Amino acid sequence: MAICHFLIIKNNLSIAMTKKKVEINTKAQEKKTEQTAKEKKATQKEHKAVQEELSTEDAAEQIKAEIESLNEEVSELKDKNLRLMAEFDNFRKRSLKERSDLIKYGGEDVLKNILPLIDDFERALQAMESASDVEAVKEGVDLIYTKFLAFLGENGVQEIKTENEIFDTDLHEAVTTFPVEDEDAKGKIIDCVAKGYTLNEKVIRFAKVVVGE
């Protein structure tokens, strides 16, 4: 009986020791696993930090490259702007000069073309001093007058019609009125005191007329 009791105790003790050993091994395994997990986590954290540092460096390099590109673009735009301003200033100066020349010499061609008519008048005046044939002189003056009218027409100058025309305030200026018996003549021009002219259909001088009433 005592031997059986001893064996039971021994067996229980063996079981307890085995259980304890298993617990110790389990705890050791758990501690090892925990340590491994911590090491793995630390490694991952370190790797992530390296990646973030590399990403930060890459981002910094990219931002630096973008800043340099923008600076170059700004420099180019400034250069273009300066050239455009210079070109515009030159254009403005040329335009002012051309405008000034146009105002100053705008009538040059007209005056050059009228000079031959002046030559004709001077020759006619010289001929009058010694001419005995009045009709020849008259014909010469009529010829010059015809040439002068043709010259005006070529330059857009036209005479305003007045004979038997209805009085028009857009074309005529009434210097006086004159009573008429003919009903058809009332409101019409019966005499022209001074001829009027248009330049390219714009009135440059109103015709001074007498109007019937």
Give yes or no: residues 50 and 98 share one domain: yes
**Residue 149 lies inside a defined structural domain of this protein:** yes
Where among 155, 176, 191 does a domain terminate? 155
Give yes or no: residues 57 and 88 share one domain: yes
**Residue 9 lies inside a defined structural domain of this protein:** no
Query: Under a CB-based contact definition with an 8 Å cutoff, are residues 144 and 120 in contact?
Result: yes
pLDDT bracket for residue 164 (50, 70, 90) = confident
**Residue 151 lies inside a defined structural domain of this protein:** yes
What is d(CA 162, CA 197) in angstroms, rounded to the nearest whole number? 11
Classify residue 63 as exposed, middle or buried by CB count within 10 Å of its CB (0-12, 13-18, 19+). exposed
Give yes or no: residues 169 and 134 share one domain: no
Say which amino acid occupies 155. Answer: N
Average pLDDT score over residue span 27-34: 68
Q: Other CB atoms closer than 10 Å to residue 138's CB: what's the count?
A: 12
**Residue 28 lies inside a defined structural domain of this protein:** no
* Total tally of structural domains belonging to the chain: 3
Give yes or no: residues 182 and 139 share one domain: no
Where among 86, 106, 126 does a domain terminate? 106
**Residue 170 lies inside a defined structural domain of this protein:** yes
**Residue 140 lies inside a defined structural domain of this protein:** yes
Give yes or no: residues 76 and 61 share one domain: yes
Tokens for 104?
């100053």
Give yes or no: residues 149 and 200 share one domain: no
Domain extent for 202? 157-213
pTM above 0.75, yes or no: no
What is d(CA 191, CA 165) in angstroms, rounded to the nearest whole number? 10
Residue 104 has pLDDT above 90, yes or no: no
Summary mean pLDDT of the chain: 82
Give yes or no: residues 148 and 164 share one domain: no
Average pLDDT score over residue span 59-76: 86
Cα dist. 141→2, 131, 195 in Å? 176, 13, 19
**Residue 32 lies inside a defined structural domain of this protein:** no
**Residue 165 lies inside a defined structural domain of this protein:** yes
Structure confidence by residue, pLDDT tens digits, 178-193: 998 888 888 999 999 9
Residue 69 has pLDDT above 80, yes or no: yes
Residues contacting 204, CB < 8 A, separation 6+: 157, 197, 198
Average pLDDT score over residue span 30-56: 70
